[in-house]
């Protein structure tokens, strides 16, 4: 499931992120790439232990977990702390797949996070740069994603994807991964669609007894499918 979630960051929080990141200290982005991905990666990032990355990452984590659409679609168990990257002057990231397991190297005895889902939160206005599309490959073809600042795209971490070269301006984004309560993408999609249907029926004033039964089906499926 590939999902566009608008308005993760509201105006004041987005403006603060943009202002602080404008003066950030960027380093070679290959520092967080896997062995194979490093050869394809040409961008800049904030160091994972940069105080600015820690501050803004915590704010973004709070924002996504408070977003009902994100929570319903992702059903997060563990969120890997957000990282930040910048593409400019022809920077790009060739076709690759994200590592299946991530360890937060800032923590002693860090627990592994299985990367079920990848997230990119766009922080630059799309009209401020040329190129920089996130291109995601799935069974339905290629999807080029370039969203308004403050919007997020959520997609399976096992998807092949790339970032097109940025030929003008700078593309700044936060990116992170999460381990879901539901490991299988198809089951997550079904639960999300069922959740949305229940919400629509509730808003329409549908029969309360039928809604209760349908809600029970949702939670029993979640109980059956959730990872231990």
* Residues in binding site for 2-oxoglutarate: 171
How do the residues of the chain divide into helix, strand and coil, expressed in percent and rounded to 5? Answer: 35, 30, 35
DSSP string, 46-85: --TT-HHHHHHHHHHHHHHHH-HHHHHHH-EEEEPPPEEE
> CB of 76 within 8 A of CB of 178?
yes
d(CA 68, CA 56): 20
Count of residues in the chain: 228
Pick from 55, 70, 66, 85: which is nearest to 117 by CA? 70
State the sign of the Cα–Cα–Cα–Cα dihedral 221, 222, 225, 228. Answer: negative
* Binding site as annotated, residues for Fe cation: 96, 98, 161
Helix, coil or strand: residue 193 = helix
How wide is the angle at C-alpha 36 spanned by C-alphas 85 and 4, nearest 5°? 45
* Binding site as annotated, residues: 96, 98, 161, 171
């Amino acid at each position: 499931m590939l999902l566009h979630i608008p308005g993760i960051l509201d105006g004041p929080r987005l403006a603060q992120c943009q202002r602080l990141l404008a003066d950030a200290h960027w380093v070679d982005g290959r520092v967080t790439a896997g062995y194979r991905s490093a050869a394809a990666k040409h961008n800049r990032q904030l160091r994972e232990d940069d105080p600015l990355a820690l501050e803004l990452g915590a704010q973004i984590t709070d924002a996504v977990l408070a977003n009902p659409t994100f929570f319903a679609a992702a059903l997060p168990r563990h969120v890997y702390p957000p990282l930040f990257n910048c593409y400019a002057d022809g920077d790009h990231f060739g076709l690759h797949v994200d590592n299946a397991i991530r360890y937060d190297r800032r923590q002693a005895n860090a627990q592994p996070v299985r990367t079920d889902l990848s997230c990119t939160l766009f922080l630059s206005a799309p009209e401020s740069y040329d190129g920089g599309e996130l291109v995601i490959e799935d069974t339905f073809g290629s999807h080029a994603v370039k969203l308004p600042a403050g919007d997020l795209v959520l997609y399976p971490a096992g998807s092949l994807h790339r970032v097109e070269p940025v030929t003008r301006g700078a593309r700044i984004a936060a990116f992170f991964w999460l381990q879901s309560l539901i490991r299988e993408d198809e089951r997550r999609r079904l639960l999300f669609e069922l959740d949305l249907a229940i919400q629509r029926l509730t808003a329409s004033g549908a029969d309360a007894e039928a809604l209760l039964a349908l809600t029970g089906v949702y939670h029993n499926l979640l109980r059956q499918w959730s990872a231990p």
